[in-house]
Structure 1
């Protein structure tokens, strides 16, 4: 259903340094980059959604929308932990440490929330965290 997601940045070099280890862990290689944009995904697989970080095309400053978030579905809870750690090491900020959220999402949902250095919110989620530690 999702073809691609784009988030804005004020510093593409910093954004690439933040996102590269996350997408490497998720098996999403850098598939395109130029002076304006970087994209991760599989160049030869158009069924896989791509993720772009770029300077806004209207030449206005990048801003963050309140209530906007990109969630990445992962296979294991340990993937969630690893990605949260990588995000923190890469200059992200914590918006919710890895853990279960039974009061909101049920007993199996394991998730962590972070913001990238530009303030874009991300979630790393495993829908079967107890079965896949």
Structure 2
């Protein structure tokens, strides 16, 4: 359903340094890069992709309160690794890895903000506990 997600940045190179190890650990590669944006996706697939970009209207990038991108992972262990990579590369902790029973049985997540303040969630759904 989603073709791409785009977050704004004030420093494209800093943003690329933040996201590259995270997406690499998820098996994703850079699928597009120019002077205004960089995108990651599944090798060989056009969509979905995740873009970090300098705003096209040339106004300052401003993250929205209540706006978040959730990245689906294959395991809780990977969430721990992604969380560490995010913090090592300039991200901030918005919620350490762990179960989130308030969002449903089998829901495991961690939350971070990138260096521009964009909020990300790394999530895992245990289908054996979620009824899937």
Q: Deviations over 1:91-126 (max 9, x none)?
A: 100000000011x12231110000000000000000
Question: Cα RMSD between the aligned structures?
Answer: 1.6
Listed as ranges, the gaps of 5+ residues in structure 2 are: none
TM-score (norm 2): 0.93
Kindly state the Cα deviation for residue 43 of structure 1 after the two structures are TM-superposed. 5.6
Question: Residue 13 of structure 1 aligns to a residue in which SS?
Answer: helix
Distance 1:14 1:98 in 2: 24
Residues 110 and 129 in structure 1, CA contact (< 8 A), matched pair in contact too = no
* Alpha-carbon contact 1:33-1:39 (below 8 Å) kept: yes
For 1:39, the equivalent position in structure 2 comes to: 39
Aligned to 1:19: 19
Please point out which of 105, 110, 116 is paired with 2:114: 116
Residue 54 (structure 2) pairs with residue 50 (structure 1): no
Cα 1:123/1:11, change in 2 over 3 Å: same
Runs (4+) off by over 4 Å:
none
Gaps of 5+ in 1: none
Deviation track 1:46-101 (CA, whole Å, cap 9, x = no partner) reads: 3x410000000001010011100000111100011010000000110000000001
